[in-house]
Structure 1
Amino acid sequence: MAAQADPREGLRFGRIPVTNVQPVLEGGKFPAKGIRGADVRVSAVVFREGHDVLGATAVLFAPDGSEGQRARMRPGAKGSDAWEGVLTPSTEGNWSFAVEGWTDLYATWAHNAQVKINADVDVDVMLAEGALLLGNAAKAAKSAAPEAAKVFKAAAATLADPSLNTNDRLAGGTSREVRAAVEHFPLRDLVTSSERFPLLVERDAAGRGAWYEFFPRSEGAMRHPETGEWTSGNFRTARHRLPAVAAMGFDVLYLPPIHPIGTINRKGPNNTLVAGPADPGSPWAIGSADGGHDAIHPDLGSLADFEAFVAAANELDLEIALDLALQCAPDHPWATEHPEWFTTRVDGTIAYAENPPKKYQDIYPLNFDNDPTGLSHEILRIVRLWIERGVRIFRVDNPHTKPVWFWEWLIGTINAERPDIVFLAEAFTRPAMMAALGRAGFQQSYSYFTWRNTKEELEEYLVHVSRDSAGYFRPNFFVNTPDILTEYLQYGGPAGFKIRAILAAMSNPLWGMYAGYELYEHVARPGSEENIDNEKYEFKDRDFAAAEAAGSSLAPFVTLLNRIRRAHPALLDLQNLSLHESSDPATLVFSKHKNIAATATEPARKDTIIVVINVDPHSMREGEVTLDLDALSLDGLSPDGTFLVEDLVTGATWNWGKKNYFRLDAHLEPAHILHIRR
C-alpha cells in the first residue's frame, strides 16, 4: 500500500496559528527599526482550536543567527487573541525575530483541575495527571533550571501523596512557588513558530538625541553701526558658541547649508524678491561661481576651518549634522554643466521651486528622470566627500520632493559602507510619503508634533508614534525651525515655550530646537508661520549670555530637561510610553518605563518617569490623575497602596497612589516630571 502524504505539509497555518506579527513591514520586505539597547514592542495574534490555555514567546536572533533573547509575551484585551512582549537587542546589526505560539500544559491542567476538583469530578485523575506533568517537568528542567526542577519534584510528590487531603494536594501543585517556577521554565507543547522577520538595529544617534540648530554665519557676525552693514560670522567665530550648546546638554549641532549662495534671484530680508548688495541670501539657494555642494562659502572660512570646527564640536561630545539640500541656485555650476538635471519649461527657462503659495525664485529643483544615473552618482560622490570631512549625520531638506527609489539606493549604498551614517528626513508631507521614506532607509524624520497642541491631539499622536508607526518611523520632535513658528508659540508666551520643550524632551527620545527658542522669539512675519526678520535671509545678533544673566532665557530649563533625559534611560526609548487619565481636559498625563538589566557594576533596576503637564499656556489647571498602576511596573507598594515620587523640576516629594490631586499653573511650573523612587 502506497504511503500517504502528510496532510500538514505545505500549509500556511502551523499547528498553532501565529498571525499578524508586528513590527513587520510589508511582509518583511523592509526591516523594522531598532536601536541598540532600546525596547522593541513585539505583538502577534495567537490562537488554537478548543479550550487549552496558550502561551506565546517572542524570540530575538542576533546577526550571526544565534538566539539572543526570548521574552514571554502577555495576553492583550480579552477575546482578542492578541499577545505582546518586549525584546531588547544589545548591539547594532541585522537582527531578526519570531513569535512562538504553544499550548501551556501547566496552565491548562491547573485550570481544569481547579474546576473539576471543586465540582468533585475526576478528582483522582486530575491529581495524578498533575503529578505526572510536574514529575516530567522536573526531569526536563534538571540541567537547564535546577531550582525550578526541585520545586516541580516536590510539587509532584505532594500531588501524588495519598496521605494528604485533596485540597492540600491541589494547593501543593498550584502554589506560588510552582507558578513562579513555571514562569521561569514554562511547560510547552505543540510549539509553532512564525517565520523570522528582519530588525535593523542602529546606533544611538539614529534614534536618540537632543538637536540644536544654528547658522554659523550669525555666530560672531558684527553689524557696523555707522553703515548698518554686516561682517559675517564664520567657523572660527562659531566655535565660541559650541561650549554653550554642549553645556545645555545637546548631542547634535545641526548646520544649515554651508555652501556658496547664489546671486541670481537672491532673496532679500523677509523673503523679498530684491536683495541689496550686502544681503547674504538664503543658504538653501546653493551654488555660485564659488562652487556648489562640495564647496564651502568663502565667508565661512576654509576646509581646514570647517574640519577644525567639527573636531572642536566632537571634543565636546557634539556631533555635527550637515544639511543635504538637493537643489540649486540659478548660478550653480550644475545649471550650465548639466542642464539635463533640471526641468526645462516650454519657453526654455529652468523651472524654479514652488510650494503654493510660497515661491522660491532663487532655487532650481532637481529632476531625477532625465539622467538618473549621472545625477545619482554625483550626489553619492558629494555625500561620501562630506563623510570624509568628518560628517556622520545628514539632515536632508525636502526629501519628499525626490523619488523614493533614489533614497533607498543612496542610503542603502552609504549604510552598506558606513552603518554609522544617519539621515534625518525634513519631510512635513503626506503620511504615505513619510512612511515610505522611513522604509527607504531614513533613520529619523521631522514630524507632525509641531502642530499637535491640545491634550486630545497629543494623546492620539503619542500613541501613534510610540506604537502604530514605531517599526518604520522615528520622529524627531523639533519645537521650532527657521520656517515654523506656530500660533501656539506666537501667542503662548514664555509658558508656551516651556510647555512645548517639556513635551518634546520628555515624551520622545529625539527632540530639537532652533537657536532663538531659548530667547522666546515669537514675532511672526504677518500672515505666516515664520519669524519676522527671518534668519534664512539675514544675519542675527543674539546676546544669549545677557538674556540668561537677566533671567529672561529658557536655556537653564532646557539644560535641566536634557540633564533629566541623560539620567533616566526610560526617556530615551520610543516604544515604552503609556497614557494615564486626568479629569482636566487640558492636562496630559503619560509615563515612560524601562527595566534596566544588571551590569558588572550595577544591579538590575527599574526606571519610571510620570509627566503631568498643563498644555494650556494661559491658565492654571487642577484636577485628579488616575494612574494605570500596571503600566508603572510597581512592586513593594506601601501598605496603604502608595509609592514615593520626586518632582525632578522642584525637588518636592509626595506619596502617590492610583488617584492623585494636581494643581499646575502654566506661568509658574506647568508640569510635574516625577521619578518613582524605588
Structure 2
Amino acid sequence: MIPRPPSVVIEALSPLVEGGRYPIKRAIGEDIVVETDVFKDGHDIVLAVLKWRKKGHHRWHETPMQCIDPYNKDRWSGVFSVFENAVYEYTIEAWGDYFRSWQHEFQVKFEAGLTELTSEILEGASFVGRAAKLAQDQGQKRDAERLVVLSDKVREGNPETVNALAHSPEMEALMTAYADRSESAEYLLNPPPVAKLIALSAPSAPLENAAAPARKGAGNVIAFPTESSPAGKKGAASKKKKPATVAEPKAAAAPVVAPEPEFHFTPRYPQVYVDRPRANFSQWYEFFPRSAEGRGDKGSTFRDCLPRVDDARAMGFDVIYFPPIHPIGITARKGKNNAVNCQPGEPGVPYAIGNRHQKCPNGGGHKDVAPELGTLEDFGWLVKEIHARGMEVALDFALNCSPDHPYVHEHPDWFYKRPDGTIKYAENPPKKYQDVYPLNYHNADWRTLWDELTSVIEFWCEHGVRIFRVDNPHTKPVAFWEYLIGRVQARFPDALFLSEAFTRPKMMKVLAKAGFTHSYTYFTWRNTKEGLTKYFTEITQTECSEYMRPNLWPNTPDILPSFLQFGGRSAFIIRAVLAATLSPVYGIYSGFELCENLGLDKKPWDAASNVGHFLHLCDNDYKQLAKEEYLDSEKYQWKQRDWNAPGNIKEIITRLNRIRHENRALQQLRNLQFQRTENDLVLYYSKMTAARDNIILVVVSLDPFHFQDAYIDVPVDQFGWVEDQQYQVHDLLNDERYLWTGRRNFVRLHPDKPAHVFRVRRKTHSEKDFDYYL
C-alpha cells in the first residue's frame, strides 16, 4: 500500500534563527517558550506536543501544547526548561485526534436529542480498543486492561452512559496517554518534498487492494525518518550493504579522487545552545595587570594583582578581564600615546603579541605570558586565587602578531605579503600599526592556521580560563569563528566568548549567531532617549534577543566617550546605572570608577548650554566634540593611579551590583519595557519577573548638568493591580521610600543623584511589613 503523507500542517515556528541554521541561546535554568501554527484539513480536533532532548540522545521529553489563538485556534504554545550546559534540540509533533473528534461529535448529536447512535457508539468503542492495543504494545498491562473494560462499556452502553463515560476523568487521562499518533506530523527544518516522496514510493500491494478506510492505523503514513527510526536505520544499513552487480564487467581502474567534503549547515531539528548561568548574568572588571599597583615608574606582575582583584570583588564584580598578557614584540614597538618611536624602557603595546627573542617555554607567542608579568606558574596561581574568591578570569584573544612572533619566523605564508615579498603590517587608514602583522585566514595552508589558533584557546582552557574576549572578530571570516568556537565548546562546553566588534549591525549579529556568547554593542554611542529606546527595544524585544546577548561597556581602553569627557562625575553615574540595569551583563574598564575622563583632543564645547544638541552629537557626530581616546592611555605605558581618589563612584557601583544580585528582574534581558514620560531628557523603563514578584522601575536623567523633573506613568495594570491602589516604592540606589497611588507620579533628578532604581511592592496592611522593620 502506498503510504500517505501526514495532513497536519506545522509552520511559523518560533523561536527560530535563520530557519534553524543557527541555534537560539539560553542559560541553565531558563525556560524556552515555543510557538507554532498547527492546523489540518477538515474538522478534526488537532493536538500537539512540544518535544525536546539533549543532542545525541534518543529519547524525547514532551509536554502538551496549548492553543493560544481564541479565534481561529491555529496558534499553539508550549514551554520547556533546560538544566545542562549542552546543545538541545526541540520540535513539534501534531496529529488529528480522532477520539476527541468523535467525542465532540457524539456529544453534539446526543445533546441535539438524536437517539439512533449505534454506529457512533461502535466507532467510539473501536478508538478505545486501539488505545488498549497501544498500551499493551508499550508493556502497560494494567492500563491496557482498563481500556479494554472501558471499550466494552462504551460498546454496550446507551447514549447517555456513553456520553458520560467519554468525558470521564479516567477516559480522558488514558486516551491522552495512549493517543493514536500513527498519522502525526513532526516539524523538521528541511523536510523532504512530499511530492517527491510520493513519486518515489513503490506500492506495497496491487492498486485494487490498496483501498483504506479513513483514520487507518500505523504504517500507512509517510513518516520523515529520524536517526533512530526503523526507516532511518534501514536506509543506513542499505547504504552499507549495497550488493555488487556481478553481471557488469570489471572496469579499468580509475584514478583515486578524494570525495568532496560534505557540509551540513542546517540541523534536522531546531537547536538551543544552553550556556552556564554566568553567560546570562555577570559583571566584568577590566584592568591591565602591568598597572595593577597604579605606579607610573614600573610595571606590576601577576603577584601584585590581588589587591586590585579584591577591590573589584568588593565592588561586586565577578569576572576579571585582562587585556593581552603575552610577550610584546620589540620590532617597531610603539611608545607613549602611540608614538612611532619607542623610548628605552617603555613597555610597548600588549596587542603587538609575540617575542621569540625572549626565553619563553612555548616560543614566545600566544601560548606564553610576558616574562615581565611573571611565569605561567604565576599566572596559574593568580587564576586559582581569583577562583577562590568566587570570580573567574577572562582573557583577551587578540590575533595580532608582532614582527617578532614565532609564527612570522616559522610560517611566513600565514601573512599577507607585498609584491616585493615583505610582510604587510596592519593599517586602518589613516592609522598605521607598524608593530602588528595581520594573519591571512585564506592562505594556502589555512586549515593548519585555523587549527593552531583553535589550540591557543584550548591551551588557556587547560590553564583554568573559560572566558575569552575576542579582539576585532569582524576582521576575520565568520566561518573561522564558527569552526573555532564549535571545536572549543565540544571539549569545553562552559567556554564563553565575547565579541568585540564595533562594526556594521549585520556583521555584529552574524557573529553572535555563529557562536559568540556575548556581544559589544552601540551602547557607547546611544545617549539620547530616542536612540536608547529604539536600540534596546531591538536587541531585547525582537528575534535578536534569541541569539545576541549584549555586554554593555560605558568605557574601554580604546574608547573614552564624549559624554564622559564633558559630563563629569554625574555622567559616569548615569552611564553606570544604564549599563547595570539595561542588560544583565555589563562591565567597566579600570579608571571608570575614578571618573577618569582626560581625553586626547577635547574640543572647547559648551555642552551644558544645549544638552539635547550635545547628546545628538554624542550619538551621531562625536568627532565635533573630541577624539574618543584617553590621553596617556595605558595601552602604551604604565598607568599611575590613586585607586581611592577623591570623587570616585566606587560606593555607587558597589550599590548597583548589590541591587543586581538581589533583584532577579535585573538578571534577565527580554523583560525590558520602556515606559512613558514626557521629558525627553529622562529615560524610564521597567523590568519584572514572570511571577510579578520582583518589579523594578528605573528612572535616569540623561542630563549630567541640570535638574530634571518628570511625571512617570507606573504600569499598574501590568502588575495586576487596580488603578487607585496604594503601593510601596523603595529607591534602592538612594535608600529612600515612598507610598504612591495610581499611575501618575512625580520624580525629580539632579546631577548628584541622576537616577532612581525603584523596587515596587503592593502596600501591606501593617507598617511592620515595611523593609525597615525586617
Shorter-chain TM-score bucket reads: 0.7 to 0.9
Structure 2 vs 1, CA of residues 609 and 309 (structure 1 numbering), >3 Å: closer, same or farther? same
Structure 2 vs 1, CA of residues 344 and 123 (structure 1 numbering), >3 Å: closer, same or farther? same
Alignment partner, residue 38 of structure 1: 30
Paired residues for 1:10-29 under 5 Å: 15-29=7-21
The question of 1:489 aligning with 2:482 is answered no
Q: What is the rounded CA distance, in whole Å, between the counterparts of 1:54 and 1:646 in structure 2?
A: 49
Counterpart contact for 2:63–2:78, Cα < 8 Å: no
- Code of the residue aligned with 1:569 in structure 2: it is R
Alignment partner, residue 235 of structure 1: 302
Paired residues for 1:70-81 under 5 Å: 70=63, 75=68
Alignment partner, residue 756 of structure 2: 671
Give a deviation string over 1:403-428, Cα, whole Å, max 9, x none: 22222222211111111122211111
Q: What is the rounded CA distance, in whole Å, between the counterparts of 1:75 and 1:90 in structure 2?
A: 26
Structure 2 vs 1, CA of residues 346 and 508 (structure 1 numbering), >3 Å: closer, same or farther? same
Q: Which moved more, 1:63-72 or 1:557-566?
A: 63-72
Structure 2 vs 1, CA of residues 325 and 656 (structure 1 numbering), >3 Å: closer, same or farther? same
Query: Where in structure 2 are there 5+ consecutive unaligned residues?
Result: 122-126, 133-142, 144-159, 162-166, 168-172, 189-268, 359-363, 602-625, 765-774
Structure 2 vs 1, CA of residues 18 and 368 (structure 1 numbering), >3 Å: closer, same or farther? same
Shift of 1:654: 4.1
Alignment partner, residue 506 of structure 1: 581
Alignment partner, residue 281 of structure 1: 348
Alignment partner, residue 381 of structure 2: 308
Structure 2 vs 1, CA of residues 314 and 510 (structure 1 numbering), >3 Å: closer, same or farther? same
Query: Where in structure 1 are there 5+ consecutive unaligned residues?
Result: 117-121, 144-159, 162-172, 174-180, 224-229, 596-604
Give a deviation string over 1:159-189, Cα, whole Å, max 9, x none: x99xxxxxxxxxxx9xxxxxxx9xx99x999
Paired residues for 1:152-551 under 5 Å: 194-195=187-188, 196-223=269-296, 230-288=297-355, 289-290=357-358, 291-370=364-443, 371-466=445-540, 467-526=542-601, 527-547=626-646
Alignment partner, residue 662 of structure 2: 567
- Code of the residue aligned with 1:616 in structure 2: it is L
Secondary structure in 2 matching 1:613: strand
Counterpart contact for 2:354–2:401, Cα < 8 Å: yes
Structure 2 vs 1, CA of residues 614 and 103 (structure 1 numbering), >3 Å: closer, same or farther? farther
Paired residues for 1:578-617 under 5 Å: 578-595=673-690, 606-617=692-703
Shift of 1:458: 1.8
Shift of 1:254: 0.4
Shift of 1:571: 2.0
Shift of 1:563: 1.1
Give a deviation string over 1:442-492, Cα, whole Å, max 9, x none: 222212222222222222222222232122222211221011122222222
Secondary structure in 2 matching 1:201: strand
The question of 1:96 aligning with 2:184 is answered no
Shift of 1:511: 0.7
Secondary structure in 2 matching 1:21: strand
Counterpart contact for 2:85–2:494, Cα < 8 Å: no
Name the Cα RMSD after superposition.
4.5
Give a deviation string over 1:577-619, Cα, whole Å, max 9, x none: 3333333333333333334xxxxxxxxx654333332341234
Aligned residues: 615
Secondary structure in 2 matching 1:538: coil
Counterpart contact for 2:727–2:760, Cα < 8 Å: no
Q: What is the rounded CA distance, in whole Å, between the counterparts of 1:77 and 1:513 in structure 2?
A: 48
Q: What is the rounded CA distance, in whole Å, between the counterparts of 2:340 and 2:653 in structure 1?
A: 37
Shift of 1:45: 4.2
Structure 2 vs 1, CA of residues 104 and 569 (structure 1 numbering), >3 Å: closer, same or farther? farther
Q: What is the rounded CA distance, in whole Å, between the counterparts of 1:204 and 1:470 in structure 2?
A: 16
- Code of the residue aligned with 2:636 in structure 1: it is Y
- Code of the residue aligned with 2:456 in structure 1: it is I
Shift of 1:497: 1.6
Structure 2 vs 1, CA of residues 340 and 472 (structure 1 numbering), >3 Å: closer, same or farther? same
Secondary structure in 2 matching 1:623: strand
Give a deviation string over 1:504-534, Cα, whole Å, max 9, x none: 2112121111001111112221142111111
Shift of 1:568: 2.1
Secondary structure in 2 matching 1:529: strand
Structure 2 vs 1, CA of residues 559 and 42 (structure 1 numbering), >3 Å: closer, same or farther? farther
Q: What is the rounded CA distance, in whole Å, between the counterparts of 1:593 and 1:73 in structure 2?
A: 24
Secondary structure in 2 matching 1:489: helix
Q: What is the rounded CA distance, in whole Å, between the counterparts of 1:491 and 1:456 in structure 2?
A: 21
Q: % of aligned pairs identical? A: 40
Structure 2 vs 1, CA of residues 577 and 445 (structure 1 numbering), >3 Å: closer, same or farther? same
Give a deviation string over 1:610-654, Cα, whole Å, max 9, x none: 333234123413123252733x4x3xx469445444322233444
Q: Which moved more, 1:258-267 or 1:570-579?
A: 570-579
Counterpart contact for 1:454–1:615, Cα < 8 Å: no
Q: What is the rounded CA distance, in whole Å, between the counterparts of 2:315 and 2:353 in structure 1?
A: 31
Q: What is the rounded CA distance, in whole Å, between the counterparts of 1:268 and 1:388 in structure 2?
A: 34
Q: What is the rounded CA distance, in whole Å, between the counterparts of 1:365 and 1:576 in structure 2?
A: 41
Q: What is the rounded CA distance, in whole Å, between the counterparts of 1:569 and 1:188 in structure 2?
A: 43
Pick aligned residue for 2:710 from 599, 622, 627: 622
* TM-score (structure 1 length as normaliser): 0.79
Structure 2 vs 1, CA of residues 490 and 47 (structure 1 numbering), >3 Å: closer, same or farther? farther
Structure 2 vs 1, CA of residues 36 and 427 (structure 1 numbering), >3 Å: closer, same or farther? same
Alignment partner, residue 733 of structure 2: 649
Counterpart contact for 1:583–1:625, Cα < 8 Å: no
